[in-house]
Amino acid sequence: MASQLQNTIANHPILTTAGVLSLTFIALAYQDYRSYVALGPHGLPDTFRGWYTQLKMSRRARKDTAVPAPYDINDVAGPFDRKSYLPQDAAHALKWRPGNKAPRVPGFTAPQRQTSDQASEEMKQAMYAHLDHIASLHISTLKVQDSVLEGPVPALGIKDFASLPDAGKPKVFRATKGEMTHIHPPDGSTHLILSLADQKRVIETGWGLRHRLSGAGMLPWNYSFVYAPRNEGEFEVWKGIVGAAVEFCVENLEEMRGKR
């Protein structure tokens, strides 16, 4: 004798199919939500509301984050975007990132994190200390701060950016409110603003990606994601990339000051 469930399926096949699809969608959505929460603290709350917010943002997000330059440089370049600030000497020039695979980076619009090849705690402490060192070298221009984009994580920003007149704020830093870089404590990856020439090179050599919102109207094309360093050699590469971001930032700021 057929069960009540079997009879229902036989008598209402369309309704049954819709119900199965709904349950499947709910299960997939919950799994996606749990993966989102597992990435740790970031700029959005690690709640259902935060997960749903980033899901809505995905309608504007780009998928070509690993394409070196998916734009016409003549349409998007700022005054220093064609210039490279990365080390150019043979010993330190950016070469292909060792290994056959890039770290795993889930496809969430936010947060952007890597779930493999993460930095050790000792490495992350060295990275934080390097931001302090950079700030000490540019004491009149930069400061260490909590990220204005992702909450209480170590960041470097332009000093007194909020109090600058609009004419004194470089356009490329307006969306980030003067923030130049920040480090993600859960994995040791880094967000930073690079010249487009340097970002292209970083992506070409396998050291990072763009953010999914870069060039999508919310963040500048320059907003970049750099993988966590795994060893001392990669830490030196990371310092070179951060140094390039600093020089790009300072030159943009000095140009704006010269116009005032």
pLDDT in 10s for each residue of the chain, 260 residues = 344 432 343 455 554 444 544 556 566 776 777 777 778 776 777 887 878 888 888 899 999 999 999 999 999 999 999 999 999 987 789 999 999 899 999 999 989 999 999 999 999 999 999 999 999 999 999 999 999 999 899 999 999 999 999 888 999 999 999 999 999 999 999 999 999 999 999 999 999 999 999 999 999 999 999 999 999 999 999 999 999 999 999 999 988 776 65
Q: Which pLDDT value is given to residue 8?
A: 44
Q: Which pLDDT value is given to residue 7?
A: 39
Ramachandran region, residue 193 (left: φ > 0; alpha: ψ -120 to 50; beta: rest): beta
Return the axis-axis angle of helices 121-137 and 232-259, rounded to nearest 10°. 30
Q: Which pLDDT value is given to residue 226?
A: 99
Burial 43-63 (b: 16+ CB within 10 A, else e): ebebeeebbeebeebeeebbe
* Domain ranges within the chain, ordered by starting residue: 4-57, 73-259
Q: Which pLDDT value is given to residue 166?
A: 87
Q: Which pLDDT value is given to residue 52?
A: 84
Q: Which pLDDT value is given to residue 205?
A: 97
Q: Are the CB atoms for 194 and 177 separated by under 8 Å?
A: no
Determine the Cα–Cα distance for residues 248 and 233; give it in Å rounded to an integer.
23
Ramachandran region, residue 206 (left: φ > 0; alpha: ψ -120 to 50; beta: rest): left
Q: Which pLDDT value is given to residue 13?
A: 54
